Chain A
Amino acid sequence: MIRDYFRVLVVDLATGKGNVAKIEGRNEFAGGSGLGALLFDIYGHAQRPWDDPDQPLIFSIGALTGLFPLMSKTVCSFKSPYHDQFAESHAGGRSALAIRFADYDAIVIKGRAPRLSCLSIGMSHLEVKDVQFLAGKDVFSTGKLLRRMFPGSGHRSILRIGPAGESLSGMACINADTYRHFGRLGSGGVMGSKNLKGIVIQGDGSFALPDNKDYSKVFDEVYEKMTGTDMMSKYHNLGTAANLNVLNELKSLPWRNLQATKDDDIAGITGEKFADDTLLRNAACAGCPVGCIHLGFVREKFMEQNQYMYRQVAYDYEPIFATGSMLGVTDAFHVLAIMDEIEKVGLDVMSGGVALAWATEAFEKGIITEKETIVPLAFGDAEGYKKAVNYLGQAENEFYAALSKGTLVAAKKYGGEDFACVLGQEMAGYATGETFYVAESLGFRHSHLDSGGYAWDQKNDKKDVDAVCDFLIGDETGRAFITSMVACLFGRGVYNDEQLSACLKSVGYTEIAENMDTIGERVRAMRWKVRFDTGYDPDAISIPKRYNEVTTWKGKTDPEYLAALKKEYGNRIRNLVSKEALIRLGLDKYEKN
């Protein structure tokens, strides 16, 4: 299982057959992000639309997956229904380990099944099964039925979509093992377009350990840092929800479609509040002793005479921002109830929440009416949002169908582009300032995790275009390497260069260990190359007016500085794929498909 090439399962849904491909490039691309981009370059079609049956849906893992703790994520690479360009989304759960123990470095799924189907794979099986009877089923019932249909409890991963994926929404996520998601940029829509309701991956193999004494020693070292020190306590304790209070204090938490960045009503939705009142228990991705998954509960009376039902909902900072402060909902239980509906329908919670925040302001301003929204929308009204989420997920009418393609798509049609909170895609919860606005808008995944732009804003108020761009570009290299490993980004405190190098060497990946910087740069350039091939243009991305009206701890946004920063960052990104850069990194030989 430690090898100098990638072992990739390529499945064609049209025929129900697959083959195992041997792909060169282990030492150049490491795995994860790098492998995803490489495979898209090989199997993808840059010029054809995202829903062309031949477009691949790719899941890839890293060189150290399964071998070390927190190497627990999978990268999903695809052409996005959101912007029809190459995209990437990450999730944990059991997916990464299941792929590892099925003995693959990646799975490439192409073709379109004749009817709604489920793909089931393992070390010694491959099957495409008709599951037409699951059409329209929500994410939870789909999970339950798939669990019954396929064996292997505890050591398999179940990826599935809900109605949002089936309706080809650009905001549809792929649910990974109930509590994790390939959330952003519509990977769920890609599954929908392939008539693929679920993927069951059984990790049933076992492997000889690296033949040396170092491995166990290095493992124990890393494990001790993860569990015996307080390096990971933030994620373990309140979890990322601890940020709500912090960002609110910093005047950086978006409220009511970013009409404000701070509100005293924060008290009802802080990390402490969630932990004290709603937290049931913690859970972990397979292979991670940290256990950052926080499970709260929703309890609802469904009949008189005290008949209640309850459900568990995973919360985190981002989902609370999207369905809480952004929608003006300030009761922790109401927030969880909205999340629960979003889960069921299979929407990305951040995109869905932010889209509805825009719709609410548009509704208040009279740009749209109940004719469009079906239910009246008002900030703070959780009941309305619970219904609207379903309409959005099912693309119920013309309005919701447009909104499900992206807030700006709906805004172009109905008006209200100025106050759409879109930074490349529906924004993440960090209204920290110009660096973040630009970094998320232009960034590769349009994610706050492409670089630490949000953190830069929190620490610096100097307006220095070059310094910011140097920082963003520099930061992205390391992240590209770590997402090729594919370590959980929460682990990046432990997995510094030195630690990663020791881990890699202990299992025999010496060449990767000695070239981490170059690999980071190469992966980053490869990702951008594929992205440009599919139509990326930094100048075509605009930052809506709303961001100029916002006040953070640094004061009002400076539009001129914002524009200068955006221009320069766009140039820097372009330089990453210049001819010289590609030659230097050995990428000139990869022709676009």
Chain B
Amino acid sequence: MKTLTAAHMERCIGCHSCSFACARQVHKLLSWNTAGIRISSSGGLSTGFVAKVCLACDPAPCAVACPTQAMSPRKKGGGVIHKKDLCIRCGKCAEACPVDAIYLDLKKRPFVCIHCGRCVKFCPHECLEMRESESTKRAKKEDAL
């Protein structure tokens, strides 16, 4: 399985096109927050930009922390899926994520990347890439042994 990787953030110009694309296409919203990828400066604009995006952990601490299984691990490749109707908006997933990849909106609804790759073509500087995830690579190696 491929996962979204913010591989070349040193090229990022901070346009937020990726976040808008995700919010628009995946979440049907207009926002630069309610998206699987969020761009922020790493300490003022002179320091360049970082992407807050899911690293596709396997196992996923956010899923472990979720008390209702609304946030559950994907079958393969790491990462999670979020089922809105099971979610009680306790915020535990966001708390558990080590890289702040889950965004809670003002109503505490979690937003996380589902690794669909739809944002990639909206990045004008080719900062983003769909890559084989570490967990897929590991699984392949294990299969080969």
Contact = CB atoms under 8 A, between A and B. Distances in A.
Interface of A: 1, 66-67, 69, 97, 101, 123-124, 143-144, 147, 153-155, 177-179, 203-209, 216, 219, 223, 227, 281-291, 293, 295, 311-312
B14 A206 contact: no
Contact of A288 (B15, B24, B106): B15
A209 B29 CA distance: 5
A216 B17 CA distance: 14
Interface of B: 13-17, 20, 23-25, 28-34, 38-41, 43-46, 48-49, 105-106, 122, 124-125
B24 A206 contact: no
Contacts of B38: 154-155
A66 B30 contact: yes
Contacts of B41: 153-154
7 contacts: A66-B30, A144-B44, A147-B43, A205-B31, A208-B28, A289-B17, A289-B124
A121 to B, nearest CB: 14
B80 to A, nearest CB: 21
Contact of B34 (A67, A69, A123, A206): A206
Contacts of B39: 154
A291 B23 contact: no
Contacts of B33: 101, 155, 203-204, 206
A361 B31 CA distance: 52
Nearest to A210: B30
B29 A312 contact: no
B24 A216 contact: yes
Contacts of A206: 23, 29-31, 33-34, 105
Given A283-B14, A283-B45, A284-B14, A97 B32 contact: yes
B17, B23, B38 interface centre (most CB from chain A within 10 Å): B17
A221 B33 CA distance: 24
Contacts of A97: 16, 32
B124 A124 contact: no
Contacts of A154: 32, 38-41, 49
Contacts of B124: 227, 289-291
Nearest to A283: B13
B82 to A, nearest CB: 16
Nearest to A507: B30
A209 B44 contact: no
Contact of A155 (B24, B32, B45): B32
Nearest to A288: B15
Given A286-B15, A289-B122, A293-B13, 16 more contacts: A66-B30, A97-B16, A154-B40, A155-B38, A178-B45, A205-B31, A206-B33, A207-B30, A208-B29, A223-B17, A282-B13, A284-B14, A286-B14, A287-B17, A290-B124, A291-B13
A101 B33 CA distance: 9
A329 to B, nearest CB: 23
Which 10 pairs of residues, A with B, have the shortest CB-CB distance? A154-B40, A206-B31, A291-B13, A284-B15, A284-B13, A289-B124, A206-B34, A153-B40, A207-B30, A178-B45
A144 B13 CA distance: 20
Contacts of B125: 291
Contacts of A287: 15-17, 20
Contacts of B49: 154
B135 to A, nearest CB: 28
Contacts of B14: 283-284, 286
A203 B32 contact: yes
Nearest to A312: B46
A143 B122 CA distance: 30
Contacts of A178: 44-46
A67 B44 contact: no
Q: Which of B29, B40, B46, B125 has the most CB of A within 10 A?
A: B46
B119 to A, nearest CB: 12
Contacts of A153: 40-41
Nearest to B28: A209
A144 B41 CA distance: 12
Contacts of B44: 143-144, 147, 178
B29 A207 contact: yes
A288 B49 CA distance: 15
Contact of A286 (B16, B23, B46, B106): B16
Given A101-B32, A289-B15, A177 B25 contact: no
A177 B105 contact: no
B32 A219 contact: no
A299 to B, nearest CB: 14
A66 B29 CA distance: 11
B124 to A, nearest CB: 4
A143 to B, nearest CB: 6
Contact of A69 (B17, B31, B43, B45): B17
Nearest to B109: A206
Contacts of B25: 216
A283 B14 CA distance: 6
Contacts of A66: 30
Contacts of B31: 101, 205-207
A289 B19 CA distance: 12
A314 to B, nearest CB: 9
Nearest to B10: A281
A243 B15 CA distance: 25
B66 to A, nearest CB: 22
A205 B34 CA distance: 9
Most buried by B among A124, A177, A208, A283: A283
A549 B64 CA distance: 78
A67 B14 CA distance: 17
A286 B29 contact: no
Nearest to A207: B30
A179 B104 CA distance: 29
A1 B29 CA distance: 12
Nearest to B11: A281
Contacts of A281: 13, 48
A123 B30 contact: no
Contacts of B48: 281
